[in-house]
Amino acid sequence: MHGERPGFQGMSDDSLAWLGTAPIPAAPYHDSAWFELEREAVFRRAWLQLGHVCELPDSGSFIRREIEALNVSLLIVRGRDGEIRAFHNVCTHRGTQLVEEESGRRGTFSCPYHRWSFGTDGALLAAPDFDRFFIDKADCALPRVALDICGGLIFVHLGTPDKGLRDDLGPYAAMLDGFPAAQATTFSEYVYEIDANWKLTYDNFQENYHLRFIHPRSGAPAVGEDNPFGYPVKMGFHGPHRTQTIWTNPDPAPKPVQAQSFGRAARFAMADGTTGPHSRDYLALFPNFFILGSPAQPFSHTVWPIDARRSRGVIRLYWKGEDDCASRRYAREYAMASARDIHAEDRDVIEAGQRGLNSGALKHIHFQAQEALCRHLFTAVDDRVQAYRAERASATPPLRAEAMA
């Protein structure tokens, strides 16, 4: 079989052939018309990861989230009953956005325009001179958005989901419950913008083929003589979602500061009880979220489209407990600094790829067998875009005879 080397037993090329081997159209990575289809076919019809329950510790705690590609602003609130709900951040009087703060705590939400006031459950509580509107307050509640939680992570669905989140994730729901993020009480975060299509950006973190060329120092422990490209031990697929198990180098030879810092993080993780069976697993949840099970670097990354050629990434490291000593603070700071350093090495080459695609010189791009996760994402997106096209075509009303005369 292809792809196997002595001492390393990974996924054979033959076992991944069901995904196909044909070239991939290049246009979906830069074309504005295709991006417009993705907005509706993918992002308005999928569960989207937007936050974590630790951000909403108390009744009245809220976060605001913008989904720029859909022109959507959401208000996610923990109600008096403890339930977390999501609403469109829009007053039902005349559409004014209720909240500008990114987060906070309130007992009510009042529109700045005419002071319509809403409860944490979205109900309209009061509105000046309301008798002149000839409507019931019950009909003026904030528009609700489907929300579900798995592994401590908050997901929303802007359409009408045909299945709940856990059913959609299948076996990956239980995996997510076992990741360190499920126990998190705090997190580190940084946000970046990049001149690259969201899929091109996301794909960089789905394949290891580039490690030895882009990360010869920072990524050196992830490759070895028996596995010079750091290919995963295995990959898995469920519907539009995918996973891989990261190879463990038997002789990683980390730099002294790496060994010291990640060693401290691992010891804290053991003391905190955040270690588990998925420490080498990576989940890529459709369409734009992935997360690592590593307790020493519990890393998540969401890549949001801005337009056909730009995207925004949100990178988080989830932690249990606050920084209670200098060693814990150091280990966490190093984990985030390390993540940022590695990402900084990726950035230029991702943008260079986008500039090349923007030229239109290529009609197709190519994925090798071990870039299977990239191919799987493209196929999942393409399937939904083609289904949306067919749905839209079938819904187009026939031309009236009078109009044709």
Number of Cβ atoms within 10 Å of the Cβ of 101: 10
Residue 79: burial class (beta carbons within 10 Å; 0-12, 13-18, 19+)? middle
Which tens digits make up the pLDDT trace of 192-235? Answer: 999 999 999 999 999 999 999 999 888 888 899 899 999 999 99
For the cut 60, the answer to whether the pLDDT of residue 108 exceeds it is yes
CATH, range 46-158: 2.102.10.10
SS3 343: helix
Q: Are 286 and 46 spatial neighbours (Cβ–Cβ below 8 Å)?
A: yes
What number is the average pLDDT over the span 141-170? 97
Four-residue CA torsion sign, 218, 342, 210, 234: positive
d(CA 202, CA 38) in angstroms, rounded, equals 15
- Residue 251 pLDDT grade (very low, low, confident, very high; cuts 50, 70, 90): confident
Number of Cβ atoms within 10 Å of the Cβ of 340: 14
- Residue 397 pLDDT grade (very low, low, confident, very high; cuts 50, 70, 90): low
- Residue 305 pLDDT grade (very low, low, confident, very high; cuts 50, 70, 90): very high
Domain boundaries, the chain: 1-44+166-394, 46-158
Q: Are 147 and 85 spatial neighbours (Cβ–Cβ below 8 Å)?
A: yes
For the cut 70, the answer to whether the pLDDT of residue 400 exceeds it is no
d(CA 367, CA 22) in angstroms, rounded, equals 8
Mean of the per-residue pLDDT values for the chain? Answer: 93
Which tens digits make up the pLDDT trace of 358-389? Answer: 999 999 999 999 999 999 999 999 999 999 99
CA distances from 317 to 224, 285, 334 (A): 26, 17, 11
For residue 6, the model assigns a pLDDT of: 55
Alpha helices in 81-122 (DSSP H): none
For residue 362, the model assigns a pLDDT of: 98
For the cut 60, the answer to whether the pLDDT of residue 3 exceeds it is no
Pick the CATH number of 1-44+166-394 from 2.60.120.260, 3.90.380.10, 3.30.565.10, 3.40.710.10: 3.90.380.10
Which tens digits make up the pLDDT trace of 229-243? Answer: 999 999 999 999 999
Q: Do domains 1-44+166-394 and 46-158 have the same CATH topology?
A: no
Number of Cβ atoms within 10 Å of the Cβ of 178: 17
Q: Does the pTM exceed 0.85?
A: yes
- Which amino acid, residue 344? A
Q: Are 353 and 366 spatial neighbours (Cβ–Cβ below 8 Å)?
A: no
| Closest of 123, 30, 65 to residue 363, by C-alpha | 30
What number is the average pLDDT over the span 319-348? 92
| Closest of 62, 103, 106 to residue 84, by C-alpha | 62
For the cut 70, the answer to whether the pLDDT of residue 157 exceeds it is yes
Please give the structure tokens belonging to residue 337: 């600094």
For residue 325, the model assigns a pLDDT of: 93
Number of Cβ atoms within 10 Å of the Cβ of 146: 16
Percent above pLDDT 70 for the chain? 96
- Least confident window among 20-34, 55-69, 266-280: 266-280
For residue 217, the model assigns a pLDDT of: 85
Residue 297: burial class (beta carbons within 10 Å; 0-12, 13-18, 19+)? buried
